[in-house]
Amino acid sequence: MYPIKQNTAVTIPVFCHNASGDAVTGLSSGDFTKRISKGSGAFAAMTVTITELENGWYTLPLTTTQTNTLGLLSITLTHASTKQVNLQFRVSTRLPDDVCFPTTSGRSLDVSSTGNAAIDLTNASGALEKDDTLLGFGVLDDVDEMLEEHEAVHRFTAAALAEASAATNPAILLTAEIATVTDQTHFTLATGSDQDDDYNDQAIVLYDDSNSDYPNVRKITDYVGASLTVTIDTAPDFTLGTDDSVRIFMTPVGMTAPTVGEIQAEMEEDGASLLDTIRDDLANGTDGLGALKTLIDAVPTVAEIQAEMEENGASILDTLQDRLTAARAGYMDELAAANLPQDIDAIKAQTDDQPAGVPKNVALSNFMFLMTDSTNHDPSTGLTVAGSVSKDGGAFTGLTNSVSEVASGMYKVDITSTEMNADVVTVRFTATASDDRFITILTSA
């Protein structure tokens, strides 16, 4: 299984043979049935032009659209005159020679050429961020409790999603304009994925273009890739129109975005929502208005809230700041005690010893291969072997150096740097009364 870098165009050589194992030539691209599965998904028709090289070899050019999905990429090519060709690749964000220590905005692990490490747990403003590495300190539990109130949950979620930046937030799957509106729960996007159900169960923020981009959070219940049609669970609080914009956010694995009904159900208390309780009190002809007045009078004043937040002469914000400072100091002490620089040096020493692979544009000496008899397919000796090379799916041309025999059917040849100057190098070896030998080499920069 060969690796392919995501969103990269690459030309793959493929060999077509019949049931007897003989090469099949003269095939037309239009006579192939081509199917593709991206990210282990369902197979679909594939648009690609297959071009013949020679002796049963053809080229299959993959586009960036066909390599844009991480995971397994599977391709089948069927033709009436050949056995089915099955290809499988792994699409990754980086190839082995791309591996490096990553640095992300806000939190980073930077390693110098001497192996020294520097850790930054602050965001761009210099404030300590809360993430999984700090949960053990329980520093911000009080803040979490203040955010987990009834209607505040919805307001906080909408504000957080509305302010998120598409340029820096990896949770944003798509930012797009609304192209057409069928009704208030069905509309099409100007841009988006061409795959059905790609955005199902994801959170979508709808922005009212006529009202300073007022946001509404909804859940996508269906998505049709061919027409870019979105179906949401309920209509927004404003009237959708063309040129209103949307952002679609990625929901964590194993979870789905809550619907408006689910949020309302979460806000239920003792079988009745807060709004139902107020309605019941107002409908009570005896003391409904009095009950409402009691509720209003119970709302604390600013001075009462401030007094409640004072703790032993210091405000809760001062207390939080002190606890954050202490937590950060303790955390850095633990990192220092854990001998992190020594561990980084050990990892670097191991990775430095890993082989770099077959280098591109560098001569490959003493390249050995096996030749077999065309009748019994046993190792064949005493042959005069001719070699040729195809670079990145190009036509085969003769090798510069001649092939020499080693022993027991094994032969060797020196491949020049010019012949190795390609991402995909395929060499072919032929001899009288022998099976053709094809070998493909993937080089690294």
User: Taking residues 260-286, what's their average pLDDT?
Assistant: 61
**Burial group, residue 193, by CB count within 10 angstroms (0-12, 13-18, 19+):** middle
Convert the pLDDT of each residue in 307-354 to its tens digit.
766 655 566 677 778 888 888 887 777 777 666 777 787 788 777 766
CB of 428 closer than 8 Å to CB of 55: yes
CA atoms of 230 and 259, how far apart (whole Å): 15
Fold of 147-261: Elongation Factor Tu (Ef-tu); domain 3 (2.40.30)
Level-2 CATH architecture, domain 1-98: Sandwich (2.60)
pLDDT at 280: 67
Domains 1-98 and 147-261 share a fold: no
CATH numeric code, 356-445? 2.60.40.10
Phi/psi for 432 (5° steps) reads: -60, 135
The alpha carbon dihedral of 94, 73, 393, 56 has a sign of: positive
Structural element, H or E, at residue 425: strand 424-430
pLDDT at 327: 82
Q: What is the residue extent of each domain of the chain?
A: 1-98, 147-261, 356-445
Q: Which of 143-147, 265-269, 284-288, 403-407 has the lowest average pLDDT? A: 143-147
DSSP state of 23: B
Q: What angle do CA 143, 165, 139 make, to 5 degrees?
A: 20
CA atoms of 92 and 4, how far apart (whole Å): 6
Phi/psi for 38 (5° steps) reads: -110, 135
Collapse the DSSP code of 85 into the 3-class scheme (helix H, G, I; strand E, B; otherwise coil) and give the result.
Answer: strand
CB of 426 closer than 8 Å to CB of 387: no
CA atoms of 426 and 437, how far apart (whole Å): 10
Convert the pLDDT of each residue in 289-300 to its tens digit.
666 667 777 777
Convert the pLDDT of each residue in 184-202 to its tens digit.
999 999 999 999 998 998 9
CB of 150 closer than 8 Å to CB of 267: yes
Q: Which residue has the tokens 């009950």?
A: 291
Q: Which of 142-156, 378-392, 403-417 has the lowest average pLDDT? A: 142-156
Structural element, H or E, at residue 317: helix 316-337
DSSP state of 83: P
CA atoms of 235 and 213, how far apart (whole Å): 16
| pLDDT band, residue 287 (cuts 50/70/90) | low
pLDDT > 70: percent of the chain: 69
